[in-house]
């Protein structure tokens, strides 16, 4: 007997009519993800503009609260995590996060695989189809732009700490109603470390590899001076402390 298609939402499990086509389920999930992202942006600070949304109405948050969103998309396979045989590997996600979360149980991928484009899709709630290895922004508004534009927040209120230098455009889309300085500022730890390395040093080379991306792609990034200033004044971390901590790490992901 074929089970009826279903997905998890903030209100519980939603089931489609018997015999619903996969396209109907995919469309419902895609729309709900986009709505969820926009709602979450309002919930972060209790947006007055989103009061009609039940998620926003439930939020009683002060303006001093900081919200951290963590995504991961590489190196964790379904069979090693959320599949029944892998759940023992993620006890905190299963027992602590999921009871407080919206957990989407179905995912459809129609051909574009890559860390950057996949993360861009998470940030926009839309299936992004941009070239994973081109220096391009997402095509649809990101969570960061919803947050800043709808809540009128300054640039210093939204940051992305990116896992690789290829994510340098993740903070802001090229959507004509958003973009244009309304996104998040992006911190690239690998680029910061390279700028902080003593001239001629090779002690940190193992931390600078984007080893899950093509070795032929090296995106154009900003200058050295801005990144080091960002490290000191924004992250409140001295260059010497950053280098010392990096020496204790064994992989780029740890950095």
- Dihedral class, residue 47 (left if φ above 0, else alpha if ψ from -120 to 50, else beta): beta
CB 162 within 8 A of CB 74: no
Q: Give pLDDT, residue 7.
A: 46
pLDDT tens digits along 195-240:
888 887 888 888 887 655 555 555 566 445 557 777 788 878 888 9
**Residue 50 clears pLDDT 80, i.e. is over it:** no
pLDDT tens digits along 74-108:
667 788 888 889 999 999 989 998 888 888 777 77
Q: Give pLDDT, residue 91.
A: 93
Domain locations along the chain: 6-60+67-187, 188-255
Per-residue pLDDT band at 51 (split at 50, 70, 90): very low
CB 138 within 8 A of CB 128: yes
Per-residue pLDDT band at 31 (split at 50, 70, 90): low
- Within 10 angstroms of residue 189's Cβ, the number of other Cβ atoms is 22
Residue 222 or 174, more confident: 174
**Residue 192 clears pLDDT 80, i.e. is over it:** yes
- Range 122-133 average pLDDT: 87
Residue 103, judged by CB atoms within 10 A of its CB (0-12, 13-18, 19+), counts as middle
Provide the sign of the torsion angle of the four alpha carbons 122, 125, 127, 128, taken in this order.
negative
> C-alpha angle 172/106/3, rounded to 5°?
160
Q: Give pLDDT, residue 97.
A: 87
- Range 10-30 average pLDDT: 53
């Amino acid at each position: 007997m074929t089970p009826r298609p279903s997905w998890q939402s903030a209100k519980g499990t939603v089931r489609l009519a018997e015999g619903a086509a996969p396209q109907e389920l995919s469309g419902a999930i895609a729309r709900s993800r986009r709505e969820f992202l926009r709602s979450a942006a309002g919930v972060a600070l209790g947006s007055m503009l989103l009061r009609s949304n039940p998620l926003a109405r439930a939020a009683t948050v002060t303006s001093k609260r900081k919200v951290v969103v963590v995504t991961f998309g590489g190196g964790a396979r379904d069979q090693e995590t959320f599949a029944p045989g892998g759940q023992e590997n993620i006890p905190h996600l299963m027992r602590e996060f999921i009871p407080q979360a919206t957990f989407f149980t179905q995912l459809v991928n129609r051909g574009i695989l890559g860390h950057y484009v996949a993360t861009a899709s998470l940030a926009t709630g839309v299936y992004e189809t941009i070239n994973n290895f081109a220096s391009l922004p997402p095509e649809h508004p990101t969570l960061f732009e919803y947050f800043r534009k709808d809540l009128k927040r300054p640039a210093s209120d939204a940051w992305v700490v990116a896992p690789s230098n290829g994510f340098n455009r993740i903070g802001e889309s090229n959507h004509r109603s958003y973009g244009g300085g309304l996104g998040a500022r992006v911190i690239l730890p690998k680029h910061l470390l390279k700028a902080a390395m003593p001239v001629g040093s090779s002690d940190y080379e193992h931390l600078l590899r984007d080893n899950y991306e093509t070795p032929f792609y090296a995106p154009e990034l900003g200058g050295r001076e801005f990144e080091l200033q960002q490290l000191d004044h924004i992250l409140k971390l001295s260059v010497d402390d950053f280098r010392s901590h990096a020496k204790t790490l064994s992989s780029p992901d740890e950095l």
